[in-house]
């Protein structure tokens, strides 16, 4: 056992109040053990104590606690079944019971994997799904969110540890993970445990071990600081603070401020933005930076001289809020509701205005969320603040050097791997499912290197170089567009496929499950089903279709470009949609597509493209492709001219 793990055992929480033996938090009642393998169980007892560990399915194993009280035993796990138990006896007896043996999967990623059945998620038919969720053969384990610049050995879990799946335990659990477990438990006929280790709005580099970032382009400052700090958190903080101050200096020379003591709506240079909505889907696609937003309101005479409260469902990421030109509050956190008090002395009858200076450091930005939570209130009377807001850009971060991330950020390289994956590496799992990528949009070339490195790092951590790893390709999002060769979302989807160069990987295509106005599509049941098809076929050997045909060849003859697939495809309507073709000068046009009778080739033409050199399919933020396999699995977006 690694020295760091032995030392860390002294911090383990007791699995049972009053018992002498302490165990890792992932060892507890209701857990699922990966069947037919071996598990090393470390623990802490009284120094020098003789510990007898007895599994209900096999022979007792003995160990002696060292001078620090650390001990370790290795157990062979049985075939699927249960309930089982394990007793730990060092004079006091601790029993871990209601254990099942079966299949265990690690489920990770950002918000589309985190998305709970209820809560902010409210997936398709969530109320019915929750009501029907009682399933003792499905067990849930949810990692508590945490960050660390150094690898941790211990981890905390929400809900106290492993839980049986019931209508009371599943609502705030990952919907994808739950539906995946349900599918496997049903189709394999064995218990399934799923570990939900997720964090919305996070980038792949945060989930990657530091040593596996060495070959990834970028992150130079962060990698340098991590190496220079050598695990010293305070030194890491000092380095980070110095970089941030340097960036602030460049920021000061680039920003343009607008007066907050007057209302600017209607002035030249000020636009109008509908709220609540992320500004990427309305007025400012792809924008990161600082935006001034203003809204004029009528204050009734009855409200004059009284305190008011301002409410916003969410502001991404940070805000400074003013009322009639006076600052009333500051807030932060992309997923935090805001509730601010307007002092009585600022409240006058008649026209008033609210100014919000919003800083969005990356990803989506703006005032967003449930419209019913966006209002101004006095003595129980409310006025909505939804609708049109005036806006103007103060600072476009694309014109500045990249902002250094805080070491407390959930997007700092390595911090989520260190805190939320590394502590689990001694608990055997069958494989991983992954749904992430939104936060890396715009960095597709980097992601094509980063994503496979992350997978390699996880496999090495779990000491399983062949560990299955199945992922979801990003769904359609933002405004429908049927010819968008510069789509950053399409480029990221394409770069996700780079991980398929590794063995025991697979992609669940979700392009057809998206919503142009919602980055969190609701049909997680189908996402999970497609992931489960990959596992059933590739991991468990069941004869089920799990992947759509792939384009294996592209040939040009005059004005025609012909694509050859490795299995038949068909269109779901009379016209085959979603293809574009381009020439050597970078001109692109939607293509007329003809599918051959055997479904193995698709011939493309476009009136304005006389000499095509490349073709792309479903290459847009939110494309319109309708090409499927014989088993109705969607063909993945692809480009003949961009390969990873």
- Per-residue pLDDT tens over the stretch 328-360: 999 988 878 999 999 999 999 999 999 999 988
CA angle 312, 316, 318 (to 5 degrees): 90
Rounded mean pLDDT, 563-575? 97
Q: What is the tens place of the pLDDT at every residue in 486-512?
A: 999 999 999 999 999 999 999 999 999
* 45 alpha carbon, distance to own chain's centre: 38
pLDDT the model gives residue 107:
98
The confidence score (pLDDT) of residue 230 equals 87
For residue 258, what pLDDT band results from cuts at 50, 70 and 90? confident
Structure tokens belonging to residue 642? 């961009």
The pLDDT value recorded for residue 252 is 66
Q: Are 621 and 580 in contact, with CB atoms under 8 Å apart?
A: no
Q: What are the pLDDT digits (tens) for 516-543? A: 999 999 999 999 999 999 999 999 999 9
Asked whether the predicted pLDDT for residue 5 surpasses 60, the reply is: no
Q: What is the pTM of this model?
A: 0.81
Structure tokens at 144: 């508590």
For 134-190, what is each residue's pLDDT tens digit?
999 999 999 999 999 999 999 999 999 999 999 999 999 999 999 999 999 999 999
Residue 3 above 50 pLDDT? no
Mean pLDDT of 50-59: 96
CB 122 within 8 Å of CB 524:
no
Instruction: Identify the pLDDT of residue 402.
Output: 73
Tell me if residue 120 falls in helix, strand or coil: coil
Question: What's the pLDDT score for residue 219?
Answer: 93
Averaged confidence pLDDT in the chain: 93
Q: Rounded to an integer, what distance in angstroms lies between the CA atom of residue 634 and that of residue 502?
A: 22
Question: For residue 295, how far is the Cα from the chain centroid?
Answer: 33
Residue-wise pLDDT for 181-239, tens only, equals 999 999 999 999 999 999 999 999 999 999 999 999 999 999 999 999 988 888 998 99
For a pLDDT cut of 70, what percent of the chain falls above it?
96
Q: What is the pLDDT of residues 410-426, one digit of tens each?
A: 999 999 999 999 999 99
Please determine, for residue 576, whether its predicted confidence score (pLDDT) is greater than 50.
yes
The distance between the two most distant Cα atoms of the chain, rounded to a whole number of Å, is 84
Closest to 420 in 3D by CA, of 151, 634, 643: 151
pLDDT band at 571; cut points 50, 70, 90: very high
The confidence score (pLDDT) of residue 8 equals: 41
**Apex CA 269: angle with CA 265 and CA 270, to 5°?**
30
3-state DSSP call for residue 237? helix
- Three state DSSP letters for 140-179: EEEECCCCCCCCCCCCCEEEEEEEEECCCCCCCCEHHHHH
- pLDDT beyond 80 at 2: no
Burial tier of 227 (Cβ tally within 10 Å: 0-12, 13-18, 19+)? exposed
pLDDT digits (tens, 9 = 90+) for 440-466: 999 999 999 999 999 999 999 999 999
pLDDT at 9: 43
> Which DSSP string corresponds to 244-309?
HHHHHHHHHTT-----SSS--TTSTT-EEEEESS-GGGTT-TT--EEEEEEEEEEEPGGGTTS-EE
Q: String of b and e for 279-316 (b: at least 16 CB within 10 Å)?
A: bbbbbbeebbbbbbbbbeeebeeebeeeebebbbbbbb
């Amino acid at each position: 056992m690694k020295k760091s793990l032995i030392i860390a055992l002294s911090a383990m929480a007791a699995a049972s109040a009053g018992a002498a033996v302490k165990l890792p938090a992932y060892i507890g009642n209701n857990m699922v053990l990966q069947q037919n393998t071996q598990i090393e169980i470390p623990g802490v007892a009284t120094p020098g104590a003789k510990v007898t560990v007895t599994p209900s399915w096999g022979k007792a194993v003995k160990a002696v606690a060292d001078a620090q009280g650390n001990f370790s035993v290795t157990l062979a796990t049985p075939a699927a079944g249960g309930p089982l138990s394990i007793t730990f006896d060092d004079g006091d007896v601790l029993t871990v019971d209601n254990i099942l043996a079966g299949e265990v999967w690690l489920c990770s990623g950002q918000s589309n994997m985190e998305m709970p059945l209820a809560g902010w998620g409210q997936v398709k038919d969530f109320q019915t799904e929750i009501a029907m969720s009682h399933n003792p053969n499905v067990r849930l384990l949810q990692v508590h969110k945490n960050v660390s610049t150094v690898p941790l050995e211990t981890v905390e879990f929400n809900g106290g540890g492993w839980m049986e799946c019931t209508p009371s335990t599943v609502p705030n659990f990952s919907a994808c993970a739950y539906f995946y477990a349900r599918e496997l438990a049903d189709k394999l006929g064995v218990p399934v445990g799923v570990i939900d280790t997720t964090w919305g709005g996070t980038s792949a580099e945060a989930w990657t071990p530091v040593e596996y970032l060495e070959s990834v382009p970028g992150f130079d400052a962060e990698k340098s600081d991590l190496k220079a700090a050598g695990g010293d958190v305070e030194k890491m903080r000092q380095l980070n603070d110095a970089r941030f101050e340097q960036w602030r200096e460049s920021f000061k020379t680039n920003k343009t401020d607008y007066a907050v003591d007057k209302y600017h709506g209607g002035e030249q240079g000020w636009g109008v933005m509908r709220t609540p909505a992320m500004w990427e889907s309305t007025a400012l696609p792809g924008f990161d930076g600082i935006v001034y937003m203003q809204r004029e309101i009528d204050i009734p005479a009855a409200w004059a001289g009284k305190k008011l409260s301002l409410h916003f469902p969410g502001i991404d990421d940070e805000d400074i809020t003013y009322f009639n030109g006076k600052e009333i509050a500051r807030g932060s956190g992309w997923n935090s509701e805001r509730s601010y008090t307007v002092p009585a002395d600022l409240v006058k009858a008649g026209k008033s205005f609210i100014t919000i200076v919003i800083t969005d450091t990356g990803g989506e930005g703006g005032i967003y969320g449930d419209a019913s939570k966006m209002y101004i209130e006095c003595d129980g009377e409310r006025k909505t603040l939804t609708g049109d807001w005036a806006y103007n850009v103060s600072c476009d971060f694309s014109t500045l050097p990249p902002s250094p991330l805080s070491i407390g950020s959930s997007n700092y390289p390595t911090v989520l791997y260190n805190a939320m994956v590394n502590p689990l590496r001694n608990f055997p799992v069958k494989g991983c499912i992954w749904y992430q990528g939104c936060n890396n949009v715009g960095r597709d070339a980097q992601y094509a290197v980063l994503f496979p490195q992350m997978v390699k790092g996880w496999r090495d951590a779990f000491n399983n170089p062949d560990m299955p790893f199945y992922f979801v390709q990003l769904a359609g999002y933002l405004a429908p567009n049927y010819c968008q060769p510069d789509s950053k979302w399409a480029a990221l989807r394409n770069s996700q496929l780079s991980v398929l160069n590794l063995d025991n990987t697979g992609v669940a295509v979700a392009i057809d499950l998206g919503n142009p106005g919602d980055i969190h599509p609701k049909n997680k049941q189908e996402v999970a089903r497609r992931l489960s098809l990959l596992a059933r076929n590739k991991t468990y050997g069941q004869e089920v279709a799990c992947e759509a045909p792939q384009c294996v060849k592209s040939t040009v003859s005059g004005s025609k470009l012909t694509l050859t697939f490795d299995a038949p495809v068909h269109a779901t309507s009379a016209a085959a949609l979603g293809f574009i073709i381009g020439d050597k000068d970078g001109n692109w046009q939607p293509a007329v597509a003809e599918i051959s009778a055997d479904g193995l080739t698709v011939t493309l033409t476009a009136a304005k493209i006389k000499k095509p050199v490349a073709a792309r399919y479903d290459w847009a933020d939110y494309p319109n492709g309708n090409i499927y396999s014989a088993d109705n699995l969607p063909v993945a977006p692809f480009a003949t001219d961009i390969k990873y």
